């Protein structure tokens, strides 16, 4: 690796398009013949915080989901962007250690009492042994409590939605079967990034039917960090060099070096590797090269060099906005140490 010229503390990518945005594709993971094709829109929120001295800049964008979000017992339609006024009507469920306190009374209990349901046991068996986020409450009404988490697999990110019937009556899911009183229906969906963002908020609506035949709906939103979609990208030094020359989207930034018992470059790269699932391709002297990929197989390369007490980082990718988003998460990862 040749020497690169000294860089000031903060660089910005030369060519900028529109504000950082993102898109998601939800791929059906549940076998069911009762799937309807609803319209779907997600609300995409990206926080561009490359300079901690500047105020935060927010960019929002909407896009279509390719399929409906379908659970084993019904369909979860992401139909419209959830506004602030919409979310105020949702009563969040209480959570303690992945347990949800239902809004309605439990069976055999006094009407005023709340029922606590631990949702970890409802994770699908094939996902229970994998790393997953905390099960977080989304929203609730008199009939339903919605919670969700995301599970990291080697080649995908799975969104798991828990739909708990907190009422005393069975609820007919649309278009699949019913959810009996105080039972939990679980759905899982594969999420794919098509345009990167620092954070993305997926917004949807669960539609269902009460015993009297009245149709109801409950809107929810769920936020996913870009780091959940990052995976190591194992390449050789030669492959790295070839790709580096062909990638056109880039950004540069000086990051804080970690000074502990290890050599600073090695310590910093190991920290980023652990927190962001990066692959360290090679380290030579005061320089190192790192590679990662965004699901599905969207690469980003990183060249690192120790310079005047800083880690000078240069990122390149064929994907617009990915270098900017990744450098933000690199900063946050090192600041959290």
Question: Quick one: tokens of 183?
Answer: 């039972």
Question: Which pLDDT does position 296 carry in this prediction?
Answer: 78
Which part of the chain has CATH 3.30.310.10? 233-335
Residue (of 271, 261, 276) closest to 311 by Cα position: 271
| Cis peptide bond upstream of 175, omega within 30 | yes
Q: How many helices (H) and strands (E) does the chain have?
A: 4, 22
Q: How many whole angstroms separate alpha carbon 320 and alpha carbon 195? A: 8
Is the pTM higher than 0.85? The answer reads: no
Tens of pLDDT, residue by residue over 256-266, are: 999 877 799 99
CATH code of 23-227, in short, is 2.60.40.1150
**Section 141-153 average pLDDT:** 93
Tens of pLDDT, residue by residue over 122-145, are: 999 999 889 999 999 999 999 999
Tens of pLDDT, residue by residue over 65-76, are: 323 343 333 333
Question: Which pLDDT does position 177 carry in this prediction?
Answer: 64
Question: Which pLDDT does position 232 carry in this prediction?
Answer: 96
Q: What CATH architecture is 233-335?
A: 2-Layer Sandwich (3.30)
Which part of the chain has CATH 2.60.40.1150? 23-227
Tens of pLDDT, residue by residue over 293-312, are: 998 789 999 999 999 999 99
Question: Which pLDDT does position 76 carry in this prediction?
Answer: 32
Tens of pLDDT, residue by residue over 185-220, are: 998 888 888 789 999 888 888 888 888 888 899 999
Question: Which pLDDT does position 214 carry in this prediction?
Answer: 85
**Helix residue ranges, H only, 147-263:** 237-246
**Section 92-96 average pLDDT:** 39
Handedness of CA 65, 68, 71, 74 (dihedral sign): positive
Between 179 and 269, residue with greater pLDDT: 269
Phi, psi for residue 112 in degrees, rounded to 5: -85, -5
Question: Which pLDDT does position 101 carry in this prediction?
Answer: 53
């Amino acid at each position: 690796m040749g020497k690169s010229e000294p860089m000031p503390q903060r660089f910005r990518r030369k060519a900028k398009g529109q504000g950082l945005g993102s898109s998601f594709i939800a791929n059906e993971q549940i076998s069911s013949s009762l799937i309807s094709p609803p319209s779907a829109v997600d609300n995409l929120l990206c926080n561009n915080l490359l300079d901690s001295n500047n105020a935060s800049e927010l960019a929002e964008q909407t896009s279509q989901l390719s399929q409906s979000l379908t659970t084993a017992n019904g369909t979860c339609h992401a139909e419209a962007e959830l506004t602030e006024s919409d979310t105020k009507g949702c009563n969040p469920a209480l959570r303690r250690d992945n347990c949800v306190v239902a809004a309605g009374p439990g069976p055999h209990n006094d009407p005023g009492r709340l029922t606590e349901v631990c949702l970890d046991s409802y994770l699908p068996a094939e996902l229970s042994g994998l790393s997953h986020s905390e099960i977080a409450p989304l929203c609730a009404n008199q009939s339903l409590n919605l919670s969700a988490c995301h599970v990291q697999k080697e080649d995908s990110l799975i969104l798991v939605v828990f739909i708990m019937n907190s009422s005393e009556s069975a609820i007919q899911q649309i278009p699949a079967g019913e959810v009996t009183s105080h039972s939990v229906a679980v759905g899982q969906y594969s999420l794919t990034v098509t345009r990167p963002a620092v954070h993305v908020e997926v917004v949807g609506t669960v539609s269902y039917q009460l015993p009297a035949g009245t149709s109801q709906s409950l809107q929810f939103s769920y936020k996913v960090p870009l780091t959940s979609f990052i995976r190591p990208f194992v390449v050789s030094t030669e492959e790295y060099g070839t790709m580096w020359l062909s990638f056109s989207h880039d950004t540069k930034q000086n990051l804080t070096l970690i000074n502990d018992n290890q050599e600073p470059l090695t310590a910093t790269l190991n920290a980023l590797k652990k927190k962001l699932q990066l692959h360290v391709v090679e380290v030579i002297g005061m320089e190192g090269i790192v590679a990662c990929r965004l699901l599905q197989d969207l690469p980003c390369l990183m060249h690192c060099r120790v310079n005047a007490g800083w880690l000078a980082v240069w990122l390149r990718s064929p994907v617009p906005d990915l270098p900017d988003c990744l450098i933000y998460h690199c900063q946050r990862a090192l600041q959290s140490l």
